[in-house]
Amino acid sequence: MFSRPFFAILIARRGGISMLVELVVDNFYSFRDEITFSMIGTHIPEHPHTLEETNIFPLNKVSTIYGANASGKSNLLKAIAVIQEGLFIEPGQEAEWFAKIKPFHLDAQSELKETLLEISFLCGESLYRYGFFASRKEITEEYLYIEKNANKPETIFHRLTSGPQPQRLWMTEQLLQMPLIKKWFHNMHIILQPQKNELTISKTKFQLKKNKEHLLSLIQIADPSIYDIEIRQEMNEEGHFDDAFYVIKQKRLLDGSVVPIREGFLFQDVESTGTVKLLALAGPIIEALEKGSLLMVDEMDQSFHTLMTRYILELFRGKANKKGAQLVFSTHDISNLRSELFRRDQVWFVEKDREGNSHLESLVAFKFDDSERKNSYAFYQNYLNGKYGAVPYLPPADWWADDGQT
């Protein structure tokens, strides 16, 4: 049975918002043991304006995840992606979905154990906790709890394997009666490979038609020479025509005026890797801010200039975020690991031990003196020095000079 204590009700400052509160993962990919990722703002003084205030406790609108290569950062994002996909799965696709529920595979006991995926979220004036246990073939337990009006949590449903349809989530049917929750799950966007994600690209195409001014203003930060972006038909390798992004450049004349170069260029042929990636992410970023949805991006700032990343952070941290949108991203860029940019409860570290088990820890769990909190570079320096872990082990490079002679 479910025994973990439940949260108190959250009354939003602005009614109708939906936000991620916590994610619990157990025996999933590299997470052998249970871990909890939380967006709850703790009682620390840094950057209160970056929080979404509630009557009980605030929620972070931004969180970042650090860790060495292959530490397991991406697996946190995969966990929510699996939950979302399972809720909207089409009949007949169950086997494909179950294949993505992978237990920790480096010991026999874990391979036989069920996987737990659980998500807590705020929707309107109520807090929900939804989760399920699953083997590689069926759902063995599934539950949904709600707490509202400061009362004890109520059970909406709690099923065991003995129920019907063990290969499908009951929550799928429940969503038909809960349109606000369905909308939140549907609107969340988890991106593992931005440039190769068809849904990501489609959202950018949509925003290019709906909010071209906003989209162009974002892209022009990376490349001011961009005058316009158009969607044109381009023949692919199979001989079929697909939509392609074409960029219209602009040039400045001697009199200072700016005119477009009308012929246009295929976007990926003339723009940098970072600008191409930013174009792919522009649609989801704008949509998240418009709808107040959750956006999770794996290695979001790869190929980005540090200041570009900071600008995106400010969109979610500042006044542009009017609907409680949340951004969670993994990264290797430690240049932004600074106290002037992040609260300590907005920074997370994933480290894999010698048994291949990934551990998750928040920066707020580490002790800081006053001088460290005031030093903008203390986070950065401590991380490089290994204080928080989650860094790669680098053996001495001297062995490269060894020619095999003694």
Highest average pLDDT, of 18-22, 221-225, 272-276, comes from 18-22
319 or 163, greater pLDDT = 319
Residue ranges of domains in the chain: 18-188+293-384, 194-279
Which whole number is the average pLDDT over 3-24?
57
Radius of gyration of the chain (CA): 23
| Residue 93: Cβ within 10 Å count | 11
Model pLDDT, residue 289: 96
332: left (phi over 0), alpha (psi -120 to 50) or beta: alpha
Give percent of the chain above pLDDT 70: 81
Residue 69 confidence class, pLDDT cut points 50, 70, 90: confident
Q: What is the mean pLDDT of residues 104-131?
A: 93
Exposure pattern of 196-227 as b/e (b: 16+ CB <10 Å)?
ebeebbebbeebbeebeebbbebbebbbeebb
Alpha-carbon span 176 to 182, nearest angstrom = 7
Question: Residue 42 to residues 7, 48, 51, 233: CA-CA distances in angstroms?
Answer: 14, 10, 10, 50
Contact in structure between 294 and 328 (CB atoms under 8 Å): yes
**Residue with more model confidence, 182 or 237:** 182
CATH code for the part of the protein at 18-188+293-384: 3.40.50.300
Mean of pLDDT values over 255-271 = 74
What are the structure tokens assigned to 54, written together? 């509630």
- Tens of pLDDT, residues 47-65: 999 999 876 679 999 999 9
What is the distance of C-alpha 354 from the center of its chain? 27
Residue 11: the pLDDT is 28
Residue 150 has pLDDT above 70, yes or no: no
pLDDT at 406 over 60: no
d(CA 99, CA 107): 19
172-176 own/partner pairs: CB under 8 Å, 24+ apart: 172/86, 172/87, 172/88, 172/89, 174/144, 175/87
- What average pLDDT does the segment 214-223 reach? 90
- φ/ψ (deg, to 5) at 260: -80, 150
Written as six digits, the tokens of 240 are: 């079929």
Residue 10 has pLDDT above 60, yes or no: no
